[in-house]
């Protein structure tokens, strides 16, 4: 039986976007085994495009939450009990994940999975915009500049 790395409750399996994930019934955190986040990302059965984007205040609160996350009590992998490593999922995602150093999976606190899906959709939309700019501008002009700039920022 898998236990929550936050409060030691037994994790329950639930279906999320067609993927069986482990959810803590107490704190609402989610354990995703290796590869499951990518399956959720590709499925995108839920569309978050109609959800309002974060206001400036909410964005600051998300950044503060990331700072507090770095000070959390260390958590252990639900599979191998190794200490989980914290990192921001991706540049500007504002989601701090706890990742198993042995590759077993990741822990996401309550609502972080939905926030990651919103991030994925924003990235997908931005990629489409940049591709259309690149097509129209043939890599030159403002479109080409924006594509190059964004590519550099994402590295």
- Enumerate the domain spans of the chain: 12-124
Largest Cα–Cα separation, the chain: 57
Band (pLDDT 50/70/90 cuts) for residue 114 is: confident
The model's pLDDT over 29-85, given as tens digits with 9 standing for 90+, comes to 999 999 998 888 777 655 554 444 555 566 666 666 666 666 677 899 999 999 999
CA distance 38 to 34: 9
CA neighbor of 41 nearest in space, from 115, 103, 132: 115
CA angle 33, 35, 41 (to 5 degrees): 110
Band (pLDDT 50/70/90 cuts) for residue 137 is: very low
Q: Are the beta carbons of 62 and 54 closer than 8 angstroms?
A: yes
Q: Give the per-residue pLDDT at 44.
A: 62
């Amino acid at each position: 039986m898998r236990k929550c790395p936050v409060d030691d409750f037994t994790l329950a399996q639930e279906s999320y976007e067609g993927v069986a994930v482990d959810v803590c019934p107490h704190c609402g955190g989610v354990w995703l085994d290796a590869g499951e986040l990518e399956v959720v990302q590709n499925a995108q059965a839920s569309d978050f495009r109609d959800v309002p984007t974060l206001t400036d205040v909410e964005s600051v609160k998300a950044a503060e939450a990331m700072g507090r996350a770095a000070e959390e009590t260390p958590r252990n992998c639900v599979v191998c009990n190794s200490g989980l490593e914290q990192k921001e999922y991706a540049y500007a995602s504002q989601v701090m994940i706890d990742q198993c150093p042995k590759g077993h999976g990741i822990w996401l606190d309550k609502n972080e999975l939905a926030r990651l899906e919103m991030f994925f959709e924003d990235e997908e939309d931005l990629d489409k915009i940049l591709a259309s700019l690149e097509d129209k501008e043939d890599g030159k002009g403002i479109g080409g500049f924006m594509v190059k700039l964004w590519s550099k920022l994402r590295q």
